[in-house]
Every structure is written in structure tokens, then in C-alpha cells.
A and B are shown apart, each in its own frame.
Chain A
């Protein structure tokens, strides 16, 4: 049975304590990188193969001249129309029964197509293992009826997870309550994301957040238009390269492997 879940991130409640950032590393056993202070609280400076979520810190002066310190928990948005899964030639990236986008690490061949495809800059490549990594919404925890580690760690109620309808309702009611520029981000594009923000400011104010994210046109053309045309596109340069993987790749996901999305400690 499909139980579509949505993680709601209400940024109006975030204190940037970074409990989520650390809890993610702990649950997923992700090693720390050596970092430097570059003049910001934000660290690591960006998502990395070993940093699946991080708080972005941004100083913003609004039109009235009021200083705001914006915090945004960045990470995988778990799109319905997920460009990463669409381009993945080995079906390493796939949709789970919760609607989230998970990763069979063993199937990843390190082609990096997903990195190019993702409108949010989420998948990150690790040279040592020649694989990409990203948030899987704590798939093992969801299977065990537990909230993702980030949600579990959040002290202020910024992070919540629940049935899609309920979360959307909450999100809209919160945005209305906040008023002003507050808005809901996530349900209106890529057929809806499974991570939804309540943004206190307009989306374009936030750094590294596309105001109108789209699956790149090249992928749409290739996957949704050309691919159904089957062998007609075999001569196409781009599609031809990928056809190799499509025909060679494993046909059905192995059940045992899919239940091993994360590592327990």
C-alpha cells in the first residue's frame, strides 16, 4: 500500500540549532570533513557526499530596512517528477512507497547524470567510492514507522512528517497565519515535492533555492518524448549513450537490497 509522506519544514520556527544536520550524520554514519570558518556560521559550506542536509545562513535586509537572518535547511526535496531518478540509467535512484527518492548505492555507477539533472543541486559525488550520495528521507526509519533522524532531533517543531494532505493543509494554514510574504514552496512544481517549505520570505530571496524549479528540458525531451518512440531514437547521440545502460541494467529491484537504504548504528 502506498503511503505518501511529506516532510514539512516551517522555516519560521527554525533556530538554526543544526540538530538536524548533526542527527543526519549520526544516523547515516556520515564522516565529518575538515572545515574552515569562512566568515559564516554555515559549515560545511555546501551539501557534500557526506553532508546530506545543512542549514544555510543568510543575512537579508528587507525592503523596510529590517535585518533578517534567514535559516534554510537544505537537502533533497524528494520530487514526484524527480529528474535524478528519470536520468539514472541503472535505476539506482528510485521512488519508494512513501513517495521519497531513495538510492541503491550498489547500483550507482557514478555517471553523475543526476547531479546535472537535479534542479536543487542535491546529489553529490564521492571520488573514493565513485558513487553519488544524498538524503533518502531515512528510508529505513520510515519503514520502521519512525520519523527521519532530522525530524526526530528538531526541538522547535520546524520539522514534521506526515500524510501528504495533512502536511499541505498545515503548511497553507501556517503561511496564512504568518501573513506578509510567507508562502508554501514545493507543491506547485515537479508534480509536487515530498519536502515542503513554509518560507517566511519570497522564494527568490533565498540563496540556492530556485524560484521555479523544473526538470531540465533536455531530460523531458529525451525521457518523455524520445524514449517512448523506442528504436527511432537509437541513432540519437545522447539517447544512444544511455540506451546502453537501460538495456544492460538490472530489470527488477531486489527486495532485500531495497530494505537496506540506511545503516543502523
Chain B
């Protein structure tokens, strides 16, 4: 979240799209209701009428996978009706910059496309710079090639008729949402967007969010109270996995993962440190080497020296152009190219797409380690449906893990708030915390390396590995301090003016903020964004529980710690005008008073832009200091463009000649079958999690939750059920070209057919929480037997939200 949960209450209009907040983030909904109490409009756009829709002002049904068409229409509507926050767009976004004349967009493809590589050369996705390297700007936004005009032309095709025909949303409903949300372009109004897996689980997942970011910038909703783009993330720990890099493509703190060709630290830092010659741009990432070197110091400790590039060569590198998502991993597994696999806290035989392929892949492993709090479909795959245990050679280790309340540590929530959590009970039996399990495994590996040697010994033996307490147990506090960062030697910093005494920092002290990190190896830091979660003397700010809220805006600055530097709303300087006065005087998030900012922790101390000498642009993380309406960040284009899902009801994209995302990776094994616009699988299906269950369903062991939501179901409209002769509560079979599952038909008024390109398209929906392993005697199995292993072209988040199925009586 750019903002935080409590801040939802400050909004004037909340668009919940790509999220089922009431069901999947019940506590978030408390704050959404507070906004409603204040008179805010709450809008739900979703294929299904859910418990969220029930509490919103209204629900707008939309066909799965057509969010960009819907949002593109909104962009057009906002521009055509001049609903933008003009000053914000002029000065705080790149609307005024002039697009590279070689940039082009033609019938679904942006300039630079390489069909063979299924990817783009982004060289033309740039804006014009003057001789000093500073972007050229036309603040009148009239230059036909300025970003604003190019944006306007790009979305001109997203007419009401076109959008309605693609999405299945009536024109009346489109206008209702566009007008209501567009009204937050007023300077003193704020609109926010809540999304979750409903937006990320698509082949265009990142571009869904990108489209909304464009809207938020046009309406001046970024950096303000009650605004922002808010990813609702929950117990499955998406926030933790991105902040702390439990992903293949980043290092902690969103540092870039090095690839093979970037073979020296100098090259790595050069590649990832942006340069700006614009005196008004803070360009925060110019500090990149401080964070990368401090990270290497945290990993290799004293073994990391300037002479050995702080151990950069020991870091694992990904192969250039290769990806390593769970879908790539299971593809390798199925191809028989993988020896062993750690399914750590996961149940991939249920949770990964195209589970038949996953389960077959598991059979080809030599060994599988599953770390979990219960046995599950993954650890027991060898005795699953249709599997003869005698034919499976895979050796399976099921390591019992401590549950979340059985271990101590920090916990990150969506609002970037990191709270220290204490252990409530000891884990049962032999169960251990993840920290202890990791320690034991790595201790054993290191011992083996010491005795017998092995491949890449430096990485294993040089690892800084001193995170145990006096009893030999994993010490979460020591790890947290390493994540925060420490001085690894005494560092004295003289005041160049000589006015103040030198700043003395002792070896072993915590770094009080990431601003103090150094690129010369004097500091270590496991994750720069967390630098400042401890004070210099080691006080753990994540344990703070102050309840003061002097602003009345719900910032609660004394409650725990929010990265970065306890800033509760990021890009908050954009909440003020060029003089530093808040656009909305009723919500004074920040204000320039005298010679300083008052309110939230500002994005840097520099004065607002009206100060011609020292003033800075507000978007300090961007190299040019402004929000990017146009930018090279995504792999499939500088603007979001509508493409159909890999499997959908249409044979042709009504928007262009490109049916599907031209930059996505398509897997090619014999089990990666696709049935687009196929009469055998005529219904659009989406999948989701029920409130009562957790992801792949370890909650199925909890009798009360199972009692409330006992078995798999498919939500189906009365109209479709009527035409198929299916009665409510009847057992049915849902099949895709990849598999089939049995479940109960839930015939409901909450699902409605869509009219798409003049034809009726039915949509159904299924929860993903069930499996064959338990409860006893269940005839359920994973919904992911049906889904496709294809994902977002940027993140490889699977397209769980769109597939084509058939429904028949069981």
C-alpha cells in the first residue's frame, strides 16, 4: 500500500476492484465502513456479487480479465471531461515531458517488439532530454507529442461502446463509476483503489495496477490522505515476500537480482544506479551502492572486503533472460530436470496452477521436502488420486513447522507497518520455527562442506551465520538487527563546517536510518528499507505501541514502525501544492511551515517546488522526480493495453490484432493445453479464496471452519443453471481442457451472464481451498487442476482468475 489500512477511512470514494475486501481482508473493511460513515462512495467492480458487494453502495459486474478495458475507458472519460487535477498533472507527473519521436503504438503492439523473443526493446519508450540531460517539458500540455497528448491518443480507442462490449458492463454502469470516481480529481477530494489477487492473477496483472496508477496520477490521488494505490495483502505474506525477497527476481529491499552477465559489483551498481542531472530531482536511488554493499556485508560479514568486491561474485546469479517462478520450477520438474525441491510452507499440489502437471512433476523428483504445520496433498502426493505409490521413487520429508503464533519475530502488514510479535505458545512435538529449521539445515550443510568440500564452498562457508542465542536456538532479534543494519567498525563523521562535534558511531551499534548506510563496507544492512527499525542503541521500534494520533488522520506514528523511515503515506509531498500548502486543508498530511515540513515524515526535508533554489520534485524514488504516466517499467508497454486472457471466450481481441499479452511466457509441455474460444469449454471461470479457509486449505483441519464451509462449490447463475437443468445444491462436474473436479452447484442471483461482443457469455466461480487429502472421505480435489500455468509477463503471478470450463451434472 502507498497508504495504510487506517487511512482508508479518509477517502471520499473507494473503488474496490480486483479485491473481495470484506471476505479476504475483513479488518480492512472496518476502515472502509468508516469512510462510508463519513459519506464516501464505496464501489465494487467484480465478476461476482460477493460479501463485499453487499456492503458497498453498488456492485458493477465485469467479465474476468477485462479490467484494463474498464480502466482505459475511465482514463478517456477523465481526460475528455477534463476531470484531472490540473496542477498536479502538470507539475507532479511526466505529462509535460516530450515522448521520443520514434515511439509508436500500432494495432496492439508498441514500438520495439520482437516476435521471436516475445519481448520488447524499450529504447524508444523514453522522453526527450536537453543537452544537460534534463527532461524537456511543455507545462501547457499542448505539444502534440507530450506524454499527456500521447496518453490521450492511446486511450481514445477506449470508447464507451467498445469498453461495454468487451467488459460486459452496461454503459450506464460505466458512466456511473467513471463520474463518481472521476469526481475525486477535485483538489480537496481523494479517491483510493483497493486491489488484491483479483488484479495480480492475470497475464496482464502488473498492467492492471499500472492502468489504475495512471488514473490516480491524473486525479491527483497519489500521496494524499484517503488516496493511493492500495494492495490488500494478508496472512499469506505477500508483503513480507516482496519486502524480504522470498521471490526469485529481487534481493531484499527490492534491490535487483544480479544476472550472469553482470559479473562484477561495479557493473551491477552501474547498471542499477540511476543518474539525474536535474537539480530538482532527489533521485533517491543514486544511493543504490550504499544499499547493495551494505547488503553484501550483512550476508558475508568480515569475509566481504573491498578487495573481493564484498563477496559479490558469491551471490547466486540468474541466467540472463531466464525466469524462476513456481511455474518455471514445476515446468522443469515435469521435464525431469530437477532433482530436489523444497516446498516450504506451501502446498503446491493444490495451490499451483495446472496441478495435474505439478503432481506429475513431483513424481519425477528424487527428493521433496515439505515444511508445513499439517500433512497435505503435496507431502502425500505419492498416494494421491490415480497415483500408484509403488511407481513413485521420490523420497519425501515432511518437517513439522511452528504455526505463526508459536514463534517470535517481526510481521509486515500491507501498510508497510512492521510490528513485533511475541510467541504465544511453544510449538507442539518436534515442530520448530522456520528460523530453527533453516539454522539446522544450514548448520548440517556447512559441517558437510567443512568435512567433504563441495561446489561453491565460499558461498556456504563464508556466510555470516551467528544468529543463535545462548541456547543454540534461532534468535529473531539478532536477525532483525542485522536486517536493520549495523556499523561494522567505529565510524567518526566530522562536520565539514566544524560547527558541531564529530558524530561518533561505535562498531556493533545499529544504524539509526538507512540514510547513514555507506558504500565502503563500514556498514552492514540486510534490507535497506528496514534501516531505522531500531534506534542506534538497539531499541526495537517495531515493539512501540504508542496510541497518540495528534493529526487525527490515523497516522499513529508511535505505533510500531513503517518503512521507509516511519513514513505512513509515501509520496506525501504530493499532497501539497507548489508552495507546500495542503491541497485539502481538512486533511493536513503535510504542510510547509516556515522552513520545514510539519505532519507525516516527509519524503525528504527539501522545500516544495516553489523554492527555485532548493525546491525538489515530490516523487523522490523516480529518477526524474515525478509520477510516470508514461514509462519503461513494464515489459509489455509504457501504457496499459487491453489483451484477452490466454484462455477466454473471444477468438479476436476487439481492441487490436493482438489477442493476448504479446510479452507473456507460454509453457509448451504436453500438459500445457489451452482451449481459447472453444465450444467444448464455453464458460468463463474465476477462482478465489473463501473467507472461512486459508489458501490451499490447511484450515480444512479446523472443524469449526470446515463446518461453516465444508466442501467445494461452483457459483453459477440461475440462468445458466436453468439452461443446464442443474438444481441448487446438486453435485456437478466442472472441467477444463486440463482437468476436472466435482463440487456442489451453488445456483445464485449473484452471478449474472454478460453480453460480450453481442453474445451471451456465462461466468462461473470456484473457491481454491479444497483438496483430496482431507477431510476424510471427501470427493473434492483442487480447483487448480483446472487452471492454466501462465502468468503476468512481469511477475509470473499465475492467471488463476481466467480460464474456460464446462459444467455438467456429476
Interface residues of B in 720-773 (CB under 8 A from A): 728-730, 744-750
A31-53 to B contact mask, C-beta < 8 Å, 1/0: 11111111111011000000000
Q: Is the CB of A36 within 8 A of B22?
A: no
Q: Is the CB of A15 within 8 A of B744?
A: no
B310-329 to A contact mask, C-beta < 8 Å, 1/0: 00000000000000000000
Q: Is the CB of B704 within 8 A of A15?
A: no
In Å, the complex CA distance between A37 and B715 comes to 12
In Å, the complex CA distance between A37 and B713 comes to 8
Note all chain A residues with C-beta closer than 8 A to B707.
Answer: 32-35, 43-44
In Å, the complex CA distance between A196 and B165 comes to 47
Q: Is the CB of A43 within 8 A of B54?
A: no
A232 part of interface (Cβ distance < 8 Å): no
B565 part of interface (Cβ distance < 8 Å): no
B703 part of interface (Cβ distance < 8 Å): yes
A29 to chain B, nearest CB (A): 11
Interface residues of A in 6-50 (CB under 8 A from B): 13-19, 21-22, 25-26, 31-41, 43-44
In-complex Cβ contact of B49 among A26, A31, A33, A67 (8 A): A67
Interface residues of B in 29-87 (CB under 8 A from A): 29-30, 33, 49, 51-55, 59
In-complex Cβ contact of A39 among B26, B51, B729 (8 A): B729
Known A-B contacts A17-B22, A26-B704, A67-B49; the reply to A36 vs B29 at CB < 8 A is: no
In-complex Cβ contact of B728 among A13, A19, A26, A39 (8 A): A39
Q: Is the CB of A32 within 8 A of B703?
A: yes
Q: Is the CB of B26 within 8 A of A155?
A: yes
Q: Is the CB of A39 within 8 A of B747?
A: yes
Q: Is the CB of B710 within 8 A of A22?
A: no
Q: Is the CB of A18 within 8 A of B708?
A: yes
B60 to chain A, nearest CB (A): 12
B706 part of interface (Cβ distance < 8 Å): yes
Known A-B contacts A67-B49, A156-B29; the reply to A21 vs B746 at CB < 8 A is: no
Q: Is the CB of B710 within 8 A of A35?
A: yes
Note all chain B residues with C-beta closer than 8 A to A38.
Answer: 728-729, 744
In Å, the complex CA distance between A22 and B692 comes to 10
Q: Is the CB of B746 within 8 A of A39?
A: yes
In-complex Cβ contact of A67 among B33, B708, B728, B749 (8 A): B749
B143 to chain A, nearest CB (A): 47
Q: Is the CB of A43 within 8 A of B709?
A: yes
In Å, the complex CA distance between A14 and B54 comes to 9
Q: Is the CB of B708 within 8 A of A59?
A: no
A22 to chain B, nearest CB (A): 5
Q: Is the CB of B55 within 8 A of A15?
A: yes
In Å, the complex CA distance between A39 and B731 comes to 10
B410 part of interface (Cβ distance < 8 Å): no
B366 part of interface (Cβ distance < 8 Å): no
In-complex Cβ contact of B54 among A25, A32, A68, A155 (8 A): A68
In Å, the complex CA distance between A251 and B153 comes to 87
Residue of B whose beta carbon sits closest to that of A30? B704
B375 part of interface (Cβ distance < 8 Å): no
Q: Is the CB of B22 within 8 A of A15?
A: yes
In Å, the complex CA distance between A246 and B456 comes to 87
Known A-B contacts A15-B23, A15-B26, A157-B30; the reply to A69 vs B704 at CB < 8 A is: no
Note all chain A residues with C-beta closer than 8 A to B729.
Answer: 37-40
A237 part of interface (Cβ distance < 8 Å): no
B335 part of interface (Cβ distance < 8 Å): no
A71 part of interface (Cβ distance < 8 Å): yes
Q: Is the CB of B749 within 8 A of A43?
A: no
Interface residues of B in 667-722 (CB under 8 A from A): 691-692, 703-713
A61 part of interface (Cβ distance < 8 Å): yes
Q: Is the CB of B746 within 8 A of A40?
A: yes
In Å, the complex CA distance between A18 and B705 comes to 10
Q: Is the CB of B27 within 8 A of A155?
A: yes
Q: Is the CB of A61 within 8 A of B33?
A: no
Q: Is the CB of B23 within 8 A of A17?
A: yes
In-complex Cβ contact of A37 among B52, B54, B711, B749 (8 A): B711
Note all chain A residues with C-beta closer than 8 A to B713.
Answer: 37, 39
Note all chain B residues with C-beta closer than 8 A to A67.
Answer: 49, 59, 749-750
In Å, the complex CA distance between A17 and B55 comes to 12
Interface centre among B33, B49, B707, B748 (most CB of A within 10 A): B707
Q: Is the CB of A39 within 8 A of B744?
A: yes
Q: Is the CB of B750 within 8 A of A155?
A: no
Residue of A whose beta carbon sits closest to that of B728? A39
In Å, the complex CA distance between A44 and B26 comes to 21
B262 to chain A, nearest CB (A): 47
In Å, the complex CA distance between A194 and B477 comes to 49
A45 to chain B, nearest CB (A): 11
In Å, the complex CA distance between A179 and B51 comes to 22
A62-82 to B contact mask, C-beta < 8 Å, 1/0: 000001111100000000000
Residue of A whose beta carbon sits closest to that of B22? A15
In Å, the complex CA distance between A37 and B743 comes to 9
In Å, the complex CA distance between A22 and B227 comes to 34
In-complex Cβ contact of A43 among B22, B26, B710, B747 (8 A): B710
In Å, the complex CA distance between A157 and B26 comes to 12
Note all chain A residues with C-beta closer than 8 A to B748.
Answer: 59
Q: Is the CB of B750 within 8 A of A25?
A: no
Known A-B contacts A37-B729, A69-B51; the reply to A155 vs B29 at CB < 8 A is: yes
Known A-B contacts A13-B33, A156-B33, A157-B33; the reply to A22 vs B708 at CB < 8 A is: yes
In Å, the complex CA distance between A26 and B33 comes to 27
Known A-B contacts A15-B54, A19-B26, A22-B705; the reply to A36 vs B33 at CB < 8 A is: no
Known A-B contacts A15-B26, A17-B23, A36-B711; the reply to A22 vs B750 at CB < 8 A is: no
Known A-B contacts A18-B708, A37-B729, A156-B30; the reply to A69 vs B750 at CB < 8 A is: yes
Note all chain A residues with C-beta closer than 8 A to B728.
Answer: 38-40
Interface residues of A in 111-157 (CB under 8 A from B): 155-157
Note all chain A residues with C-beta closer than 8 A to B22.
Answer: 15-17
B510 to chain A, nearest CB (A): 35
In Å, the complex CA distance between A59 and B750 comes to 8
Known: A16-B51, A36-B711, A69-B53. 17 other contacts (CB 8 A): A13-B33, A14-B55, A15-B26, A15-B55, A21-B708, A32-B706, A33-B707, A35-B706, A37-B729, A39-B728, A59-B749, A61-B749, A68-B54, A69-B54, A155-B27, A156-B33, A157-B30
Interface set of A (CB-CB < 8 Å, partner B): 13-19, 21-22, 25-26, 31-41, 43-44, 59, 61, 67-71, 155-157
Q: List 14 A-B contacts (CB under 8 A).
A: A15-B22, A17-B51, A18-B708, A21-B708, A32-B707, A35-B706, A37-B713, A39-B745, A43-B708, A70-B54, A155-B26, A155-B27, A156-B26, A156-B33
For the complex of A and B, 4 pairs with smallest distance between CB atoms: A39-B729, A32-B703, A39-B728, A32-B707
